[in-house]
Amino acid sequence: MRHLVIAVISLSLTGCGVVYHPSAVRPGVSQQAKVRIEPITANTLMAANAAPYTPRRLPAAFNRTAGLGAGSIAAIAPPVAALERPTRPETPARHLPPPLPARPYKIGVGDVVLLATPASSPTADPASAGAARTSRQGYRVQDDGTISIPNVGRIAIAGLTVGDAEARVFKSFLDTQIDPAFSLEIAEFNARKVTIGGAVGAPSVVPVTLQPLYLDAALAAVGGTGAVDPASASVRLYRDGTLYQVPLSDVYQNRGAARLQLAPGDSLFVDAGFDLDRAEAYFRQQITLAQFKQSERGARLDALSQAVALRRAELTEARETFATRLTLGAEARDYVYLTGEVRTPARYPLPFEQTASLADALYDAGGGIPVARANPKEIYVLRGSDHPMEYDAVTAWHLDARNAAALVLATRFELRPGDVIFVAAQPVANWSNVIDGLTPSLLNSSLRAATN
C-alpha cells in the first residue's frame, strides 16, 4: 500500500506540474554571471583575505574626551586648545612636578610642641620615681606663632626648625632665670598638611611630619585608591598654582612616581574615570578654603569649567546625532547578505573599525546553520569583482563544513562589503519543500484514488 501511495503522489505531482527548484551555486558562464568556485582552505584563506578593505571609522567624537589636560591652570588659553588630549584616554598624560629641595621641617600654627623638664618635687615612692623625674607639658602654637609658657611668657617659634625653636626657648629660660634643662619635640603635626580626595578609601588630610611624605605613603594613609582601573586612573596634584598629573599605573609600577615627595599645601585628587565634575568641585573647594583667594585665578577656573562643559556637550551632541542618523539610515554602512538555508535571511552590517568573519555573520545575524535543512557541505561566500571590465565575474568561496573542524576557517575568513553568504539546502530538505507545496485537497484526492 505504501508504494502505491508514493506512486500516486508522484503521478499527481507530474500531472499538476508541481516542481521545486532549489537554489544552488553552479560554476561556469550563465546569462547573469561568470562563476568560479574556490574552496576555502588554509592555503586559499590568505588569497581571500587579501582583497583590499578598510573598515569604516567612527566619527572623531567617539575618540575624544572632555578631560582636563596636564599643565598650569594659569596657562589654559584658549580653552579648546587646552582640552586637546591623546587619542587613547585610557593612558593619562604624565606631567610630574620638579623635585623638592631638601628642607627641614618648620614649626607652624596649630602644631603642638612638647617640653620635657625635670620634676619640681621629689617622690618617696621608688616605684614611681622614674616617671617623676621629668615633667612633660604640651603647648599649641597659637595664631600669632607663639607658645605661652608659665613664668616665661610668650615665645615665637612659628617658622623655626625644631633646633632653632629649642634654642629660642633656651634663651627665654635664661632671660627669666629659669633652669634651662629641657628637651623640645613636636607632639602633634597640624600646620603642614596635604589634602587628598577623589577615588580613595577615606578622603582627608595627611600631616607632613619630620620625615618626608611620599605619594605612595599618602595614598595608603587615606585607605588606598580602592577598586579603580590603574590603566585609566590618574593622580592630579595641584601645587603653587600649577596642575600636575601622575598616571596611577606609574604609582603601582614605577618606583620613581611612587616615591614622589609631597610638599605642605599640596592638593591631590585621584581621578578614577575622567570625572571632571568631581575634580572641579574638589579644586573649587580648595580655592574657597585656602589656596585660591585671588579673583583672577577663580575666574580662570570658572572659564575652564565652562570650557569643559561646552566640550562635553559638543561631544555628546555629535555622538547622539551620529546614532540617530545611523538609526534612520542616513549614514553610509557596509553590508553583507545572508540567504539560502539560514535561520534568518538578513542584511548584516559590517562593524566599524574592525573586520567581521564568515562565522560572525552566520551565527550573529543568520542565527546559525539549521541542521535539519542546511547542507553543511555547501556553504558559499559569493564575491563580485571590483574591476570595471569584470562586473559579471563572481568568485564563490566554498566551505565544506561536514567536518566541524572546518568551521575554524569560517572564523578566519574576512568578509567584504557586498558579499553574499549562501547556504544550500540538504536533498531531504528539497523533498520536504516539494511536499510542503502540495495542497491538502491534492493529497486527499490522491489517497482516495489509491484506495479505490
Q: Answer whether the bond into residue 92 is a cis peptide, omega within 30°.
A: no
Total domains, the chain:
3
Q: Which of 188, 207, 225 lies at the terminal end of a domain, its last residue? A: 188
Phi, psi of 175 (to 5 degrees): -65, -30
Residues 148 and 204 in one domain: no
User: Which residues on neighbouring strands pair with residue 206, listed in sequence order?
Assistant: 194
Residue 211 counted as domain residue: yes
Residues 228 and 270 in one domain: yes
412-438 exposure pattern, b = at least 16 Cβ within 10 A, e = fewer:
ebbbbeebbbbbbbbeebbeeeeeeee
Closest to 373 in 3D by CA, of 335, 423, 321: 423
Residue 14 counted as domain residue: no
Residues 387 and 239 in one domain: no
Residues 222 and 345 in one domain: no
Distant-in-sequence, close-in-space partners of 49: CB < 8 Å, separation ≥ 6: 412, 413, 414
Domain that holds residue 117: 112-188
Distant-in-sequence, close-in-space partners of 285: CB < 8 Å, separation ≥ 6: none
Residue 6 counted as domain residue: no
**What was the pLDDT predicted at 310?**
85
Residue 10 counted as domain residue: no
Here the contacts of 367-372 (C-beta below 8 Å, separation 24 or greater) are 367/342, 367/343, 368/342, 368/343, 369/341, 369/342, 369/343, 369/401, 369/423, 370/341, 370/342, 370/343, 372/426, 372/429
Phi, psi of 392 (to 5 degrees): -90, 5
**What was the pLDDT predicted at 335?**
93
Here the contacts of 66-71 (C-beta below 8 Å, separation 24 or greater) are 66/274, 66/276, 66/308, 66/309, 66/311, 66/312, 66/315, 67/274, 67/276, 68/236, 68/243, 68/276, 68/279, 68/304, 68/308, 69/93, 70/94, 70/95, 70/243, 70/244, 70/245, 71/95, 71/242, 71/243
**What was the pLDDT predicted at 296?**
62
**What was the pLDDT predicted at 21?**
52
User: 276-289 and 295-327 helices cross at what angle (nearest 10)?
Assistant: 170
Residue 2 counted as domain residue: no
What is the full per-residue pLDDT of the chain (452 aa) written as tens digits? 444 444 444 444 444 444 445 666 666 555 566 888 999 998 999 989 998 999 999 998 888 887 655 444 554 444 443 444 434 445 677 788 888 888 888 999 999 999 988 765 444 444 444 445 678 888 999 989 899 888 888 999 998 998 999 899 998 888 888 877 888 989 888 888 999 988 888 888 999 888 888 888 888 888 888 767 677 788 888 998 889 988 887 887 766 777 888 889 899 888 876 444 455 555 666 666 555 456 666 666 677 778 788 888 888 998 999 899 988 989 889 999 999 888 888 899 999 999 999 999 988 876 778 877 888 899 999 998 877 666 678 899 999 988 888 889 999 999 999 999 999 987 754 544 544 444 444 445 444 555 55
Tell me the three cell numbers of residue 412: 578566519
Residue 429 counted as domain residue: yes
- The model's pTM is 0.42
Angle (CA) 87-90-95 rounded to 5° is: 85
Residues 277 and 367 in one domain: no
